[in-house]
């Protein structure tokens, strides 16, 4: 796919070695559609440089997927539920709009939703394989630092893989609509006051993370954890490890490495999720520097 909003000229180096085979493995599925969904409230060409980079790499590394990039102007191409349209048009926070849209899109169309600030190190073909092998209708990462009960993991939602019309996505999206109808503060207070649900190590978060409280609540009440393919996520490793320190930043953006070492890194780590403070820090620097992980990602 031709990219028209990047900051560099993408010219592959003919001296690069061939990628490790398992990074190029293509998977097919009779049930899991190869869609990738991304939402950024403004057109992507106006986004911060690192967000543009993430989206470009998601497109570049996933030629077998249909990549759909939504914003507040074009989302109605894919959204027909008037209740969803109402809230995307409203003045609720962008985070609530994106939370609603991602669950609606996974329920309606299926495939993979990723935040626009997910930085991939390889393709998402492995997700197709995970869905095929697991036989589950939904795949999520669980945050081990938020979780005390191994049987009831606390899930993240910056990457969601799901089959179309799966019951779990329908429950989350329709219940979140009810939360927005009720009002953010009222629904947050109702959820956090529900003593039948253990919010584990997530209880201290506020209403900004309303969707997380809802997910914990409905997954617990409807005993849905065992129906979800769960992948562990720790702040000590990718994809949850932030780029807040110089070491983390240097490893991806500055450290000189061989292409073989890059391939091993990509295979072992797959992607990382950049938080807002990561994006601000990263955009202070010039990149890609030759022979770094970012350079190989962009120029391979």
- What residue spans define the domains of the chain? 23-243
Model pLDDT, residue 43: 97
Model pLDDT, residue 223: 97
CA distance 196 to 104: 27
pLDDT band at 250 (very low <50, low <70, confident <90, very high): confident
Mean pLDDT of all residues belonging to the chain = 91
Q: Residue 198's closest CA among 167, 156, 152?
A: 152
Burial tier of 284 (Cβ tally within 10 Å: 0-12, 13-18, 19+): exposed
Beta bridge partners, 271, equal 120
CA distance 227 to 220: 12
User: pLDDT digits over 96-146, tens only?
Assistant: 999 999 999 999 999 999 999 999 999 999 999 999 999 999 999 999 999
CA distance 252 to 250: 5
Q: How many CA atoms lie within 13 A of 242 on its CB side?
A: 9
Contact 4/45 with Cβ under 8 angstroms? yes
CA distance 188 to 11: 50
pLDDT band at 22 (very low <50, low <70, confident <90, very high): low
Share of the chain above pLDDT 90, in %: 82
Which has more pLDDT, 18 or 80?
A: 80
Check pLDDT > 80 for residue 251: yes
Model pLDDT, residue 24: 72
CA distance 167 to 238: 29
pTM of the model as a whole = 0.91
Give the H/E segment covering residue 168: helix 167-182
CB within 8 A of 51, min separation 6: which ones? 40, 44, 116, 117, 279
- Asked which of 31-35, 87-91, 168-172, 238-242 is least confident by mean pLDDT, the reply is 238-242
Model pLDDT, residue 169: 99
DSSP string, 35-96: EEEEE-SS-GGGS-HHHHHHHHHHHHH-TTSEEEEE-TTTGGGT---HHHHHHHHSSS-HHH
* CATH class label, 23-243: alpha beta
User: pLDDT digits over 38-85, tens only?
Assistant: 999 999 999 999 999 999 999 999 999 999 999 999 999 999 999 999
CA distance 59 to 189: 40
Check pLDDT > 80 for residue 208: yes
Check pLDDT > 90 for residue 280: no
Check pLDDT > 80 for residue 21: no
Model pLDDT, residue 14: 33
Share of the chain above pLDDT 70, in %: 90
Give the H/E segment covering residue 268: helix 259-269
Tokens coding 140: 């999520």
Range 171-186 average pLDDT: 99
């Amino acid at each position: 796919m031709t990219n028209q909003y990047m900051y560099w000229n993408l010219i592959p180096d003919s001296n690069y070695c061939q990628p490790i085979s398992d990074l190029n493995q293509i998977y097919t599925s009779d049930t899991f559609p190869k869609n990738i969904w991304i939402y950024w409230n403004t057109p992507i060409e106006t986004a911060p440089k690192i967000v543009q980079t993430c989206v470009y790499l998601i497109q570049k590394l996933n030629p077998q997927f249909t990549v759909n990039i939504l914003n507040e102007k074009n989302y109605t191409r894919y959204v027909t539920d008037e209740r969803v349209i109402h809230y995307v048009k409203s003045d609720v926070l962008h985070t609530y709009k994106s939370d609603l849209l991602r669950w609606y899109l996974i329920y309606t169309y299926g495939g993979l939703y990723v935040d626009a600030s997910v930085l991939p190190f390889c393709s998402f073909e492995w997700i197709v394989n995970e869905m095929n092998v697991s036989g589950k209708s939904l795949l999520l990462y669980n945050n081990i630092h938020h979780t005390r009960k191994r049987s009831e993991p606390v899930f993240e939602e910056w990457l969601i893989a799901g089959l179309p019309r799966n019951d779990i996505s329908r429950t989350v999206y329709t219940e979140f609509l009810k939360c927005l109808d009720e009002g953010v503060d009222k629904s947050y207070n109702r959820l956090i006051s529900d003593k039948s649900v253990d919010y584990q190590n997530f209880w201290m978060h506020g209403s900004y993370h309303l969707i997380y409280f809802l997910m914990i609540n409905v997954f617990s009440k409807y005993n849905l954890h065992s129906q979800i393919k769960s992948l562990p996520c720790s702040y000590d490793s990718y994809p949850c490890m932030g780029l807040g320190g110089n070491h983390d930043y240097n490893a991806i953006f500055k450290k000189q490495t061989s292409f073989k070492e890059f391939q091993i890194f990509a295979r072992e780590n797959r992607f990382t999720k950049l938080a807002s403070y990561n994006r601000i820090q990263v955009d202070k620097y010039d990149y890609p520097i030759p022979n770094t992980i970012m350079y190989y990602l962009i120029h391979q």
